[in-house]
Amino acid sequence: MNNVFKAIGLGLTILVSVFILANAYKYKFKQNETITVTGLAEKDFESDQIIWTGSYSRKTLELKEAYSLLKQDEKNLKNYFTTKGINANEIIFSAVSIEKEYESRYYPERNVTANVFTGYKLTQNVTIDSKDMEKVEKTSREVTELIEQGIEFNSSSPSYYFSKLSELKIDLLAKASADAKLRAETIAKNSGSGLGDIKNASMGIFQITGKNSNEEFSYGGVFNTTSRVKTASITIKIDYAVD
């Protein structure tokens, strides 16, 4: 009879040991198991700053004359922009650049080619940096009116920026993290597990593209300046432990 009890006790001991070992292995396995997800957040926003740049130049044989004409153009440009409603402190003129220009001429009587000085070319850039996008956009479309004043003004399309990118980025990171957690919880629930703590997290590329554009994302990030209305996006990769 004692042998029977001993056998039963030994069997129970083995079963308990197996159960403990199995659960220990299961716990260790789960501790090493992770769920990796990538969260995404996007937000449309409108730029609040416009920068428009153009240039104009004068060329004469006399440096002093060219400079005098250029400074008169500067005065006329400033008056033109202010009459369009642009504030004077938003208009920034650059330093004047001076270039001596030559052209190659052939003299058949002497059978020689020589570089001949044709004049001084003075160029100046002007930049308008404003929060009033409507006025600057309208002015950029009407700037050919300057031809009537004898000013050949060459400009590019305005560029658009957003002054609160830091706040936007933080907001997107929070939303991307929440999106990642929701994905991880769904995976854990469907696999019959629980979601543990974050083991690792890394932020992806912060991208800004024109809204509804077909711009391609790049490894280094896209920063669109040609569209007034843009879409910002960010990703975050998170590794969760499994309970």
User: Looking at the domain assignment, is residue 4 inside a domain?
Assistant: no
Same-domain pairing of 145 and 130: yes
186 phi/psi in degrees, rounded to 5: -65, -45
Same-domain pairing of 229 and 175: yes
Alpha carbon distance 93, 238 (integer Å): 49
Same-domain pairing of 136 and 85: yes
Residue 123 is inside which H or E element, if any?
A: strand 112-130
The confidence score (pLDDT) of residue 116 equals 92
The confidence score (pLDDT) of residue 31 equals 52
Same-domain pairing of 66 and 145: yes
Domain end marker among 160, 189, 218: 160
More confident residue, 24 or 99: 99
Q: Which are the contacts of 121, defined by CB distance < 8 A and separation ≥ 6?
A: 57, 58, 59, 66, 98, 99, 100, 101
Alpha carbon distance 94, 57 (integer Å): 12
User: Looking at the domain assignment, is residue 8 inside a domain?
Assistant: no
Q: Which residues form the domain of 120?
A: 49-160
Same-domain pairing of 54 and 155: yes
What is the CATH number for 188? 3.30.110.170
DSSP letter at 192?
T
- Looking at the structure of the chain, the number of domains it has is 2
Same-domain pairing of 63 and 150: yes
Same-domain pairing of 141 and 235: no
Same-domain pairing of 126 and 224: no
Which two tokens mark 92? Answer: 């920034």
Same-domain pairing of 144 and 57: yes
Chain position carrying tokens 């056998």: 7
User: Looking at the domain assignment, is residue 198 inside a domain?
Assistant: yes
Same-domain pairing of 55 and 156: yes
Mean pLDDT of 130-136: 96
pLDDT, tens digit, 9 for 90 and up, residues 28-86 = 444 568 899 999 999 999 999 999 999 999 999 999 999 999 999 999 999 999 999 99
Same-domain pairing of 54 and 73: yes
Domain end marker among 105, 131, 160: 160
Q: Give whole-number Cα distances, 134 to 49, 116, 176, in Å.
A: 11, 47, 33
Q: How far apart are the first and last CA of the chain?
A: 45
User: Looking at the domain assignment, is residue 233 inside a domain?
Assistant: yes
What is the CATH number for 86? 3.30.70.2970
The confidence score (pLDDT) of residue 108 equals 86
Percent of the chain at pLDDT above 90?
Answer: 71
Same-domain pairing of 226 and 141: no
Query: Do 152 and 143 form a contact (C-beta atoms < 8 A)?
Result: no
Query: Do 241 and 199 form a contact (C-beta atoms < 8 A)?
Result: yes
Domain end marker among 103, 132, 160: 160
